[in-house]
Structure 1
Amino acid sequence: MPEDDLADEASHLTIDGDNPNGDDIGFAAKRLAHEARKTLSSGGGSRGIRDVTQEFAAAAKLLQPGQLVKDEYFTLFEAVGALEIMDPKMDSGYVPPGDTLEPDFDVCKGLPAEQVLWIMDELLRLTAVWHDGYPLSQTIFTSLHVDRLLSPDNRPPYHLFYGDTALLVMTTEQRLVHIVLRAYCIALVKSCALVLHTIQSQNFYEEEDFVTHLFGRELLPSTGANDAVKLIDEAVKFLDGADVDKVMRTALLERLQFARTYISLLVSDSADWNTLAAMGRSAETHKLAQPILEAFSDKVQRQLATSTPPRPMIIISWDEALERWKAICADIVEADRLTCFDVCQSPHALHRAIWAFAYREPQPNTFARAYLQTILFASEQITEGMAFFDLMLTDMRDLVLAGDVLVDPHSFLVEIPSDPRHKCSRIVETFMDKAFDEYMNLYRMVCQNRCRIRRTFTQSVAIFDSLETEAMRTDAELDGITPGIVLAGEDGPGNVTLTPLTSWVKYYKLQTMAWTIQLGFETDIYLPHELSMMYWYLMVFARRERKLLEHIERFLAARQKTFVSSRDARQDDEAAASQEWLAVLHKQADFTALLSSALWQVSELLMTLCILQPAKRDYAQEQLLYDVRMKSYLGIAHDPIPTLEEYKSATQSDRSIEDTCNNINGTIADAKSCLAYMKKTTPEQGKYIGTGEQWKREIKQLETTCVAVAVQTSQLRRVADKHGKLLGAPRDQSLKGAVEVSIPPAGSRYHDWWVVPQIREKKT
């Protein structure tokens, strides 16, 4: 419409005189006419187009790192209006010119065996993608055959056709669709329902881990898993006598057998997933398939109950899909192996096994992690003869009360109220009830993704700190009934009494604090200049843990002396096993403290020499930055963390570069000796029953990390010597122009928890 005509059309808007709101509408019409003339007259009657890409890029370069630009008048309404309607990337209802609103493929028509084979393989591929966290609307639901089965107007027994059609008059190609393909689709849909049930019954994070939305559809609720198996059996029986090529019949039977095995494994409590992993023949026969792309369509999304724009869809090949299926099966087999009876008898071995499972490569997907949780938490006991209560009690006995009557299972069976064992066991049981949920989270939360493990553990720190208060009260109550062993003070005059429950809670609090920092390195949440501070704090936590273990070891040795007159060999055995376990924990804490000390010194030296420096932030305050970074630990009431001033005081040193490098090398040598000790431990001593390979692999990674620290230290020493700055105080030196440093990202390190800066001399 011409400009003048548009303006005149707006000005000619008339108002019905009887309308009580006529004045308002008339004013709006006049304003519309005025704005139309003003808008259309700008730019000489036509709107000009100017490319501002280069200007925008130039303006963006003027912004400082971290600087925000905000237009106070750019409201949510404008933000939503910026989403373009009719853009296929944002508008799932957009229909291109010449296209139809709905797919026009006839799902009832017969198909040759080659095309049926391709559809089955494509569904298998999309199911693998769905397991990776992509929604059903963009994977399995894009199948028009599945869409028809799930259609709201379809009813049991969920046929593909509309109305009554006798199967007896169908051709072989029609029977391949209505018997074979239908049975396969129903079995696959029911398998998805079982997978969803497993995931939703355990801890997981919606959208972040897995998309559970059904988009308004139901997964054939009137058909059970057994019904799906029967349909598969009927399809197999049909194929045995069908007029289909022998090779093609074998290929179709393999797919049906896969679907049958898959759904059977999902409903079975004890099953061997290795049978599903044997898919070599399926890979070979896939080349017989003939693509029929029109059997799948993303137009199905228009009928689904969702307003979410489509996600970028991952495209994987058939071979990649098979590898993902094999990985799922291997993860589930490993989950069964790591939760066997022998492993579950030891809480520490079980905990190490769950960590080993979480760190499999590639990382297990959501279903595999939910499957592991189901094994551990679906019933009232971890394994046969090992209830959750017994697991927690065994942990206390192994760590702080080996051979003590307080945690003897028989003490909890005493029913005489006047018996001290009865009184103490009730007190301990009350404390265990309060600590139970957080203790079990030590096992459950490791089954989450990395970011969630770290985030949940940061929340656990405050909970364990509050439990420590409760443990102190419980220890005092127990000491009033059965006084414990009293030893001379470790750090001066005075006597010290073992507070077992307090020590037990404190150990897990310190261990959790160390895990949160190490997971922070793995998830790359620390900036390069923060490595020094975080490794220093990790060293502090490890040293506190080591001191606590020394305290526990002293009382264990004193308790062993009281067993001399006892004829109960079980007490001696428990004490000996606990002593070996504490020695291993002691070495692990030593190693963590030593390696973190070495990396702290390396990072601090790089900052001192102006090689690593924080970005310039004009309005940043050092104390506020510290408070934000250490927020998870600031609320600790018992043994609060060192302050910023204490950290800065610890980093001030007058040592020369050469002395610092020598100290780092000495620290690394001590760390290697700790690894040498752990290398010689048996699975029973180190509590790595069932995870021996992972134990050896991690020690090898840590040894390589130690070597890398020594190599980078030598490199820095060589460059400093070359520039004549090896002697003198480090704070008076600067190698900024002579050295460049890179921080390797997670995945490319020798061990993801230990960041070794890569030091290189700049080429002139």
Structure 2
Amino acid sequence: MERWLDVGPLLRAAQADMKVGQLITGEAFSLFEAMSALEAGNPKMDAAASPAADRPSLEALLDDPAAVPVDLGAADALAVMDGLLAAEASWHSGGSPMQTVYASLYMLRLDRLKEHDSVIARALYAYCLTLQCDCSMIRDLVISGMVCEEEDINVFTSGIPFEQSEGGPAAALEALDAAIGAATAIGAQDAEPASAALACRLQLRRALHLGLCMAAASDPEEARRSAEHFAEARSLLPALQSSASGEASATPPGFYVDVNRHLLGPAPPRQVQLMPLSDAVSYMERMLDHLQLAVAVSEHVFDYRSLQLYLWRFARQRPGAIARSMLHLLITPSRWEATAAPGGNGPASNGPEQAHSHSQSQSQPPVAEGKSGGRGGRGRRGAKGQATSSDHPSSATAAAGPGSTAAGGPAGLAAGPAWVPSKAMVAAACQVAYGPGLPDDAELFLEQALIAVSNWCQAVLMNRCRSRRRLRRCLDDWLNMYHHGVNADVVPAFQEYLRATGWRWRPLDGASADDGQGPLGTWVEYETCATMLHHLLMGFELELYEPHEYDMIYWYCDYLSTSMVTAFSAIHHRRPPAQVPKLPQQGAAGLGGRGLGRGLGGRGRGGLPGGDSAAAAKAAAEAAVARYEKSQNMMRFDLLEVETMQYMCQGLLRLMAGLKLAGGGGC
């Protein structure tokens, strides 16, 4: 039998015991979280459920010729293009594509523009068609880049024609070229400023479109040359801004911000404000500058340390979601897997499914092993949760020039571009020769280290707030890597390998004689301290500390810098002596070996072919010497940089202590 109880007195008693503003909270219930939960169908909590009585439906607008006029003048067409540029910048900055780019009815009814036979309509059709392709590529880039969150850019596009139309980028480029030719011809005949302004906007769209297409190509050289198109687009922006109307005009034709509100995801309503054209141009200038830096990674990165410096300097400029995704995709090993493999035709991560698969392999932290001195270099490779070489790409030694691919490594696997993290890059950072004969435990360490390095790169390229939090989570990876490193260091086979390659490793100063930490564990210790140091320094950048906390932060930074100097010096002073590359003898250049007197055109036995090979050998040797000198300078710079940070933190700590003793109020 059901029994009803009156809980009114209980609630009134609880109310009397609670203070004003106090919320009900328990182990399994939080009133704040319950009140903040999304309620589907509630107009106050669900943007898609807002009442539509005050606005026409999408179908009615699309069927109304007056809402989507196709017989536009040059001024109206320029206003539509400028509005689309502002909407695109607003989308990149966090707005919904439904309420920015696809708030234009022209983007929803491309067929109507295509059917109208006029120069203005064809130009607007080419612009919108290319913008549709670019939006699709940017969405795929953001998903594959795996460094953006919802607050960075909104990629929820369900219900709108976001996919590329039939023909794809090639059809869009063909339509653009035809429209640019027609606009240029009319401008040459009539000398009208509107025709030149129209051609400028079409050329800007063409340059940006080509840059995005080339940056996504599977050829490293083609990806590098995309910077030329980004620079061209950057140079056209001042002309676009100067040719825009100076009047604060009304909404351009065909724009209805709330026309797609019913397609929005279950999120609280947000007031969408499209950027003014001046702000949109400023955003595009910054984005194109950052895209040029992103694709220039191949020119500045040649080892792990240079990759770290490049990523940190790039991230400190606070680039937008597009540039960060571009750079991370360029340094993601899985992207170049298919290109480096024999018979590969394209990048491995070209879609969301493959990007998601790679994200899972990266996010799985390696599992620490216990110390094992197993013989023959064989460790416990069957530990649960460990990634193997089949879970993550492995690369061999980088080739001479950036962007080159070659076969190499113990297993004869193909190597990716030189700027992409690989096992060879990690081994070089540890000052360990990567080649045949490397014990299994060391090989396992490099496989796991490649995953940890990939996670670190992803963390650095997130937005600054999430980057700091992700760096803190990376410490778990480095803890597991430390166990892997010590495991490999104590294996007799690896110790014999170190002695055979010239290492002079002894226990660290102050450590016991049986301390088994070697170069791998010491390198992990250095990277762990560097991650913690950057995590603390980002707190200053994000203004997270109070002045009275500075002395504690400076002391901790000094401690971490001291540990980094100790670890770096241990590796630097105990590593094998560096072998200076030798240049070929001067007299050997151009002789061509035997058969010198058989004429300059001789084949196979002297003549020009031999001279060319000697010149090529000399050039390769000079490049090797240059790389050696650069690496030595970088190593000296690294140690000097860490020591400078150490001395600076010590000085700041003494300054804070002095201010406290002097009665500084803020300390």
Aligned to 2:605: none
Aligned to 2:561: 542
Deviates more, 1:576-585 or 1:257-266: 576-585
Contact kept? 2:508, 2:570, Cα under 8 Å: no
Contact kept? 1:92, 1:309, Cα under 8 Å: no
Aligned to 1:452: 466
Per the alignment, do residues 250 and 508 of structure 1 end up closer, same or farther by CA in structure 2, a change over 3 Å counting? same
Pair 1:469 & 2:483 matched: yes
Aligned to 1:284: 242
Measured against aligned partners, the alpha-carbon deviations of 1:718-754 in whole angstroms (never above 9, x if no partner) come to: xx4xxxxxxxxxxxxxx5xxx643xxxxxxxxxxxxx
Q: CA deviation at 1:88?
A: 11
Give 1:232's match in structure 2, choosing from 172, 176, 180. 176
Q: Aligned partners of 2:260 and 2:234: how far apart in 1?
A: 32
Pair 1:264 & 2:231 matched: no
What does 1:563-578 align with in structure 2 at a 5 Å threshold?
A: none
Aligned to 1:644: none
Pair 1:123 & 2:66 matched: no
Pair 1:247 & 2:193 matched: yes
Q: Aligned partners of 2:81 and 2:480: how far apart in 1?
A: 55
Per the alignment, do residues 600 and 82 of structure 1 end up closer, same or farther by CA in structure 2, a change over 3 Å counting? farther
Aligned to 1:384: 404
Contact kept? 1:113, 1:244, Cα under 8 Å: no
Question: TM-score normalized by structure 1?
Answer: 0.58
The letter for the 2-side match of 1:375 is: L
Per the alignment, do residues 501 and 310 of structure 1 end up closer, same or farther by CA in structure 2, a change over 3 Å counting? same
Q: Which ranges in structure 2 are unaligned for 5 or more consecutive residues? A: 1-18, 215-221, 341-401, 407-414, 585-620
Per the alignment, do residues 598 and 222 of structure 1 end up closer, same or farther by CA in structure 2, a change over 3 Å counting? same
Aligned to 2:150: 207
* Secondary structure of residue in 2 paired with 1:316: coil
Per the alignment, do residues 488 and 523 of structure 1 end up closer, same or farther by CA in structure 2, a change over 3 Å counting? closer
Q: CA deviation at 1:499?
A: 1.2
Give the percent of matched residue pairs that are identical in Structure 1 and Structure 2.
Answer: 20
Q: Aligned partners of 1:229 and 1:460: how far apart in 2?
A: 43
* Secondary structure of residue in 1 paired with 2:109: helix
Q: CA deviation at 1:489?
A: 6.7
Aligned to 1:433: 447
Q: Aligned partners of 1:367 and 1:128: how far apart in 2?
A: 11
Pair 1:133 & 2:147 matched: no
Aligned to 2:232: 275
Pair 1:589 & 2:645 matched: no
Question: TM-score normalized by structure 2?
Answer: 0.66
Q: Aligned partners of 1:185 and 1:574: how far apart in 2?
A: 47
Aligned to 2:286: 327
Contact kept? 2:471, 2:531, Cα under 8 Å: yes
Pair 1:194 & 2:149 matched: no
Contact kept? 2:47, 2:261, Cα under 8 Å: no
Q: CA deviation at 1:237?
A: 4.9
Contact kept? 2:138, 2:322, Cα under 8 Å: yes
Q: How many residues align?
A: 509
The letter for the 2-side match of 1:543 is: T
Q: CA deviation at 1:142?
A: 1.1
Give 1:517's match in structure 2, choosing from 529, 536, 545. 536
Contact kept? 1:536, 1:600, Cα under 8 Å: yes
Per the alignment, do residues 740 and 241 of structure 1 end up closer, same or farther by CA in structure 2, a change over 3 Å counting? same
Measured against aligned partners, the alpha-carbon deviations of 1:212-258 in whole angstroms (never above 9, x if no partner) come to: 11132232443411111222234345544699872222221222222
Q: CA deviation at 1:297?
A: 0.9
Measured against aligned partners, the alpha-carbon deviations of 1:78-103 in whole angstroms (never above 9, x if no partner) come to: 76799997779967633466x54555
Measured against aligned partners, the alpha-carbon deviations of 1:419-441 in whole angstroms (never above 9, x if no partner) come to: xxx2x355533321122111233
The letter for the 1-side match of 2:550 is: L
Per the alignment, do residues 94 and 358 of structure 1 end up closer, same or farther by CA in structure 2, a change over 3 Å counting? same
Q: Aligned partners of 1:577 and 1:238: how far apart in 2?
A: 52
* Secondary structure of residue in 2 paired with 1:594: helix
What does 1:143-182 align with in structure 2 at a 5 Å threshold?
A: 143-149=104-110, 158-160=111-113, 167=116, 175=118, 178-182=121-125
Per the alignment, do residues 249 and 528 of structure 1 end up closer, same or farther by CA in structure 2, a change over 3 Å counting? same
Q: Aligned partners of 1:358 and 1:367: how far apart in 2?
A: 13
* Secondary structure of residue in 2 paired with 1:218: coil
Q: Aligned partners of 1:464 and 1:132: how far apart in 2?
A: 34
Per the alignment, do residues 345 and 587 of structure 1 end up closer, same or farther by CA in structure 2, a change over 3 Å counting? closer
* Secondary structure of residue in 2 paired with 1:466: helix
Q: Aligned partners of 1:216 and 1:550: how far apart in 2?
A: 59
Q: Which structure has the greater CA radius of gyration?
A: 1
Per the alignment, do residues 244 and 306 of structure 1 end up closer, same or farther by CA in structure 2, a change over 3 Å counting? farther
Pair 1:368 & 2:314 matched: no
Contact kept? 1:542, 1:589, Cα under 8 Å: yes
Q: Aligned partners of 1:451 and 1:526: how far apart in 2?
A: 14
Q: Aligned partners of 1:400 and 1:123: how far apart in 2?
A: 50
Q: Aligned partners of 2:646 and 2:563: how far apart in 1?
A: 9
Q: Aligned partners of 1:497 and 1:450: how far apart in 2?
A: 37
Give 1:348's match in structure 2, choosing from 275, 284, 305. 305
Q: Which ranges in structure 1 are unaligned for 5 or more consecutive residues? A: 1-61, 150-157, 413-421, 604-659, 662-712, 721-734, 742-756, 758-764
Contact kept? 2:290, 2:323, Cα under 8 Å: yes
Measured against aligned partners, the alpha-carbon deviations of 1:158-182 in whole angstroms (never above 9, x if no partner) come to: 3358xxx7x5xx6xxxx35642222
Q: Aligned partners of 1:232 and 1:208: how far apart in 2?
A: 33
Contact kept? 1:346, 1:394, Cα under 8 Å: no
What does 1:325-724 align with in structure 2 at a 5 Å threshold?
A: 325-340=284-299, 343-360=300-317, 363-377=318-332, 378-380=335-337, 383-385=403-405, 387=415, 392=422, 399-401=429-431, 407=433, 409=434, 411-412=435-436, 422=437, 424=438, 426-477=440-491, 478-479=493-494, 481-482=496-497, 483=499, 485=504, 487=506, 490-491=509-510, 494=513, 499-556=518-575, 559-560=576-577, 581-603=634-656, 660-661=657-658, 713=659, 720=662
Q: Aligned partners of 2:461 and 2:480: how far apart in 1?
A: 25
The letter for the 1-side match of 2:112 is: H
Aligned to 1:297: 256
The letter for the 2-side match of 1:331 is: H
Q: CA deviation at 1:189?
A: 1.1
Contact kept? 2:48, 2:261, Cα under 8 Å: no
Contact kept? 2:46, 2:266, Cα under 8 Å: no
Q: CA deviation at 1:294?
A: 5.0
Contact kept? 2:423, 2:450, Cα under 8 Å: no
The letter for the 2-side match of 1:372 is: L
Q: CA deviation at 1:75?
A: 8.4
Contact kept? 2:304, 2:426, Cα under 8 Å: no
Per the alignment, do residues 75 and 336 of structure 1 end up closer, same or farther by CA in structure 2, a change over 3 Å counting? closer
Per the alignment, do residues 550 and 213 of structure 1 end up closer, same or farther by CA in structure 2, a change over 3 Å counting? same
* Secondary structure of residue in 2 paired with 1:295: coil
Q: Aligned partners of 2:98 and 2:42: how far apart in 1?
A: 21
Per the alignment, do residues 440 and 186 of structure 1 end up closer, same or farther by CA in structure 2, a change over 3 Å counting? same
